[in-house]
Chains A and B, each alone.
Chain A
Amino acid sequence: MEIDWFDLFSTLLQIAVVAFAIVKIVPQMRRSGNAVVLVFLLYAFICLLLSDIYWISLGVVHPDERLPFSISDVADIGEQLMLASALGVIFRGIKCRKRLELFLTIVASIGLIVLWVVWTDEWTKNVLGGISYGYLMFMVVLSAKKTNAFNRIEAIIVWCVSFVCLVLSYPLRWELVEAQLIQSIFFYPLMLILTIWFFYKSIVAMRVLMKHRENRMENARRAIAVSTSALIWIRCSAYVSDGLPFTVFDFANTLIIPFILFSVLYHERVRLEEVQMEGGAAV
């Protein structure tokens, strides 16, 4: 069996980070009387943890087994749906128009599903995974709009780059030299630049969260929207990449988890304080 050491290291690091996240969530969950956002987040992280453990164990116990649809895919679907449900609860009080966002996420999701099916010839995994990913993407885009996490120009640039990368990744299926050239000099650097920008935005949002004592709830919601947008972008980049770039985006996927964790924990702490100040029950 050939071991991809980068991939293994990346997965082990993700296991460590997710285990840390679970350990941080449980006490806060008990303090807040099992607030549903934390329950959903906990479920999402446990799914991610078990998915990683399953992936490593499968490689050890059944190294030659290639499954068209595995439990690891079920875990990914569960993780995305639970994260989307948590976002739905956090932002449920804020109303906004969502037709354009719905249209764009449906087009992007269908584009991704077709791309994955063309690449791998596997229907069940890609269609089910694509639907759950599309739902998470919709909830993230909606939360970014509700909190004004990005200005209009930033949003237009992100959407344009996403669609350009998506369309450009189609010819890679046929392994043309021109397509590989486009991939290495245009496609990956562009995705990497945008990933770095998303990290920068997440760090700025977290700094605002830590420094400013006013509008704490709004700042926490904005930090959640920015960090989950970063997660969606990084995963999208990973799903259309291969080899070393995939490992880099997978690594970035792990690095963004603490941002999501701390912004949600901060949001729940502020919410709990507000409830207690109003004299209500803990939940």
Chain B
Amino acid sequence: MIYSENILVCIVIPLLISALFTRKGTRRFLIALAVGMISCLLSAYITGFVQFLTDTTPEKMSAFYAPIFEEIMKLMPLLFYLFVWSPKTSAMFSAALGLGLGFATFENCCYILSYGAADLSYVMIRGMAVGIMHLVCALALVFGLTSARRFRVLSLPAVIGSVSLSMVFHGLYNMLVSKPGLSSVFGYAMPVITAVAIYFPFRSLIDHEAESENKEPKS
């Protein structure tokens, strides 16, 4: 058993204090990182609670149902940020990246503390796969949300549709890596291949958004 709340406090406090000494973009990223970690802990609580209610094994819960709760917990802060502050698209992307990274970092910390970090190759594979998987999920989510908002069609179906895509990607990964063998190799490779495939379109999209935001007249 690990004390995940204590680990969270230990990691988040320096992040929040350093946020006080930074400006705009960096501060946003640091706060998003901390919120991602908190979301990870909250989703673990919810997953544990549902597991208790439905009398499911932890392995089955993690392989088949945890992605649903985890992606919803990632969606909530993003929606809050979107509706309360109405940030620019580039700021949304930066917040989503921070959120995804924070989530993945805290999940990896807890995993390593629970199961040990003696095998460096496995830790590296896990770090690459899980870290990139959460990043890809967060990007898919924020791209759907910002596209819908840009054309003023941000509705409940569009939000659910966007989060469904990240849930499915996450769920497919979890299911593939739930058993050792060839399937887990595919599972670990999937986020890396997807990240490579979407790198150039996303890079040009973020650059395009930043350019158009710079061109906008300041009110």
Q: Hey, which bits of chain A sit against chain B, CB under 8 A? A: 26, 30, 33-36, 39-40, 43-44, 46-47, 50-51, 53-54, 57-58, 60-62, 65, 67, 70-72, 74-75, 77-79, 81-82, 84-85, 88-89, 92, 132, 135, 283
Contact = CB atoms under 8 A, between A and B. Distances in A.
A128 B115 CA distance: 37
Contacts of A62: 63, 175, 178-179
B140 to A, nearest CB: 8
Contacts of A75: 164, 168
Interface stretch (B31-39, B80-88, B153-161): B153-161
Given A39-B148, A50-B172, A61-B175, 6 more contacts: A40-B158, A54-B171, A61-B178, A71-B171, A78-B163, A88-B153
Nearest to B156: A81
A3 to B, nearest CB: 17
Contact of A78 (B143, B160, B204): B160
Interface string B81-101: 000000000000000000000
B22 interface: no
B182 to A, nearest CB: 9
B64 A40 contact: no
B147 A39 contact: yes
B161 A71 contact: no
A85 B164 contact: no
B183 A61 contact: yes
B150 A36 contact: yes
Given A71-B168, A71-B171, A39 B143 contact: yes
Interface residues of B, number: 35
Interface in B156-201: 157-158, 160-165, 167-169, 171-172, 175-176, 178-179, 183, 201
Given A43-B144, A71-B67, A81-B158, A57 B169 contact: no
Interface of B: 60, 63-64, 67-68, 143-144, 147-148, 150-151, 153, 155, 157-158, 160-165, 167-169, 171-172, 175-176, 178-179, 183, 201, 204-205, 208
16 contacts: A30-B204, A36-B153, A39-B143, A39-B148, A40-B147, A50-B172, A57-B176, A72-B168, A74-B167, A78-B161, A78-B165, A82-B161, A85-B148, A85-B155, A85-B161, A92-B153
Contact of A54 (B144, B164, B172, B201): B172
Given A57-B183, A60-B183, A74-B68, A47 B176 contact: no
B158 A82 contact: yes
Nearest to B174: A71
Contact of A71 (B64, B144, B162, B205): B64
B211 to A, nearest CB: 12
Chain A binding site: helix, strand, loop or mixed by DSSP? helix
B147 A36 contact: yes
A88 B155 CA distance: 10
Contacts of B60: 65
A74 to B, nearest CB: 5
B175 A47 contact: no
A137 B178 CA distance: 36
A26 B201 CA distance: 9
A70 B64 contact: yes
A65 B65 CA distance: 13
Contact of B201 (A30, A61, A78): A30
Contacts of A61: 175-176, 178-179, 183
A53 B100 CA distance: 24
A19 B80 CA distance: 34
A53 B179 contact: no
A81 B144 contact: no
A36 B151 contact: yes
Contacts of B183: 57, 60-61
B144 to A, nearest CB: 6
A58 B143 CA distance: 28
Contacts of A72: 168
A57 B68 CA distance: 18
A135 B158 CA distance: 12
A54 B168 contact: yes
A26 B197 CA distance: 12
A48 to B, nearest CB: 10
